Amino acid sequence: MQQLVAELERAGIGQLRMNEPLSSHTTWKIGGPADVLIVPASDEELEAALRLCAAREVPWTVLGRGSNTLVSDKGVRGAVIKLGDGFDEVRFDGETVTAGASYSFIKLSVMAGKEGLTGLEYAGGIPGSVGGAVYMNAGAHGSDISRILQSASIVWEDGSREVLGNAEMKFSYRHSVLQERRGVITRAEFRLASGDRKEIAAAMATYKDRRRRTQPLQMASAGSVFRNPPNDHAARLIEAAGLKGLRQGAAEVSQVHANFIVNHGGAKAEDVLTLIGKVQQIVEQTYGITLVTEVRMMGER
């Protein structure tokens, strides 16, 4: 690891932070340290970092804005890559929108609405980055990334670049090709449609009000913990099983939205994992349905 860091420093590749606590980089406010956090500022720096990791056989993983992610209390061995300012941009060209992977997905939806473009209203309540949204095929209110994405620019683990079209992304429910093949999304191009600014703003306001009433927005969480099973909702099953308010340490099944687990302050990853296991066990015993996590697990167990 020291040799990798020395080579990264000599190459002038991004910001480097040793033993960086990842609790300050996740919306759950949970997580131990990364051996090294690499923050590349350009495609070239990212490519070089990935090549050096491969040459030194150092494992790596990507962290976006830290939503939908549970980092182990023991932290992450190897390198964690978090895209820097060079990937935090947006460009509008008619009905086509190109956004950097570290750009806020919520901010993108707001900017599109101001431009009079429809198709991203649903994204106003999805925290995280554009890259993370594409990786997970993020969706809500009957829509998702697969309906609007034209292409995604990717740097693969060997440092090579490629642009994939919508079909090549292999989208399905909360899934993309990036969960099959290791790479880093650097930017995405979306095809939206012209719309009425007032209607777009009204739709976004309706979604925002609904989130305010139905989600624990004032508490640290990672968003929805479980995927919805076919023809049902995880939150309905968890609530019907009487699990709202179930606690493990400082982690609790939200009393506002049953598919959220909130951190009351000081919760550990093990608390959340234990709570996840209890919820899965009780729901399966009660309804015969196995809940599958939507949250991405990261780090040493």
Encode burial over 254-277: b for 16+ CB neighbours within 10 A, e otherwise: beebbbbbbbeeebbbbbbbebbe
HSE-CB at 15 with a 13 A cutoff on CA atoms is: 10
Active-site annotation holder among 20, 45, 252, 294: 294
Contact 56, 3 (CB under 8 A): yes
Active site (annotated) includes residue 72: no
Which one from 65, 174, 187, 296 is the annotated catalytic residue? 174
**Residue (of 292, 290, 296) closest to 222 by Cα position:** 296
Catalytic residue of the set 224, 252, 254, 296: 224
Cα distance between residue 134 and residue 127, in whole Å: 13
Q: What angle do CA 59, 61, 64 make, to 5 degrees?
A: 165
Contacts 24+ apart (CB under 8 A), 269-273: 269/30, 269/31, 269/32, 269/70, 269/71, 269/72, 269/73, 269/299, 270/73, 272/28, 272/30, 272/70, 272/248, 273/70
Task: Based on the residue annotation, tell me whether 270 is a catalytic residue of this protein.
Answer: no
Query: Catalytic positions, please?
Result: 174, 224, 294
